[in-house]
Amino acid sequence: MLGQRIRQARLAADLTLEALGNELGVTKAAIQKYERGSSTPDSSKLLALAKTCGIRTEYFFRQSTVELSGIEFRKNVDFGKRRSEAARIRIAEMAEKRVEILDAFPESPIPDFAVPDGIPERIEALEDIEAMAERVRRAWHLGMNPIADLTAELESFGLLVMAIDVEHPGFSGMTATALAADKSYHVIAVSSRWPGDRQRFTLAHELAHIVLAGRLANGVDEEKACDRFAGAFLAPKEAVIKELGAQRKRLEPLELYRLKHEYGLSMMGWLIRAFQCGVIGEDTRLRTMKAFSRRGWRTREPWDALPAETPRQFEQLVYRALAEDHITETKAAGLLDISRMRFYQERFMEPVDAAAHQ
């Protein structure tokens, strides 16, 4: 088990055998022996391994309890297999901790996720996605107004939502099923480095993969269907027409910028939604997209970025479990991956000094 965990820690840190060996002052062959289990690192090497990989030493001795299946990445080709495996391992580790805290409660503190009743069993065309997205919103009592905190909403319906720090810009998100001993959970992960509008679209896109599973007719492209669902879920047709009017020949950048910050959908997303909802025609769409390209807005939209969203349910459940005597303070600190000293200071809202972060 130790060798496997060392390998997982190395891959999760996106380190090659040689790079990890250089950090520890040993050869590549030595790291290979650690991972195969033919050699065991001493305590000082384990500490160095943990520090280099950005984990606590407890990780090496904890049995894996969760397996990810049905993994779907939202990434570009530059992200590659090695980085994908690193992201998978990190997300699996985060899922393990979430399942562990949920199991600490006598009864699950979150509901079992379920696709809302009344959702069509078959989607024959992309245009059918509009009504489907609206049905999901209504079933979840979200109305047609902006969703202030999409992460919190998805967590409240039983999805395990995670934000992971991935340096490479090629990663946007991932969806998977976390298989535990006697239960399964839907997992959605996004990059913590993207602005809020990019995160929210990815969250809604990954939600669509879950909701649309097995419902798309032959010939309906799944990625296009998920994109359509994401846009319609964040900015329903009713809201688009209310905000922009039924018919337009031109859209002003400033109104798209303000709608972006109100609904959490990018300016480009609003342009696309205006076209999909019949507010603008093809000529206006193309003309506006060309203007975006000339200004470089298709790569980076102007002015203030939408603040990133942060999943908070896991940390909240850790403190709730502690308050209800389901876990110890030591266990809580371990789950949050911080020192006992730092946890104590944060728990009692005392000033956190630099040493506590070590």
**What is the DSSP annotation of 191-213?**
ETTS-HHHHHHHHHHHHHHHHHT
Q: Are strands 184-191 and 171-179 parallel, antiparallel or unpaired?
A: antiparallel
Q: pLDDT tens digits for 15-37?
A: 899 999 999 999 999 999 999 99
- Compute φ and ψ for 322, nearest 5 degrees: -65, -45
- Is it the case that residue 43 has pLDDT exceeding 70? yes
- Residue 43 included in any domain: yes
| 41, 46, 52, 55 alpha-carbon torsion, rounded to 10° | 140
Range of the domain at 54: 1-63
- Is it the case that residue 180 has pLDDT exceeding 80? yes
pLDDT of residue 50: 87
pLDDT of residue 59: 81
Query: What number is the average pLDDT over the span 285-303?
Result: 97
- Residue 187 included in any domain: no
Share of residues in the chain with pLDDT > 90 (%): 82
- Residue 7 included in any domain: yes
CATH code for position 9: 1.10.260.40
- Which SS3 state, helix, strand or coil, does residue 228 take? helix
- Residue 31 included in any domain: yes
pLDDT of residue 353: 67
- Is it the case that residue 328 has pLDDT exceeding 70? yes
Task: List strand residue ranges (DSSP E) for the chain, in order.
Answer: 67-75, 160-164, 171-179, 184-191
- Residue 161 included in any domain: no
Domain count across the chain: 1
CA distances from 294 to 76, 291, 302, 303, 309 (A): 24, 5, 13, 16, 29
- Residue 46 included in any domain: yes
- Residue 191 included in any domain: no
More confident residue, 232 or 57: 232
More confident residue, 14 or 115: 115
- Which SS3 state, helix, strand or coil, does residue 84 take? helix
- Residue 112 included in any domain: no
Contacts of 352 (CB under 8 A, 6+ apart): 342, 345, 346
Q: pLDDT tens digits for 222-280?
A: 999 999 999 999 999 999 999 999 999 999 999 999 999 999 999 999 999 999 999 99
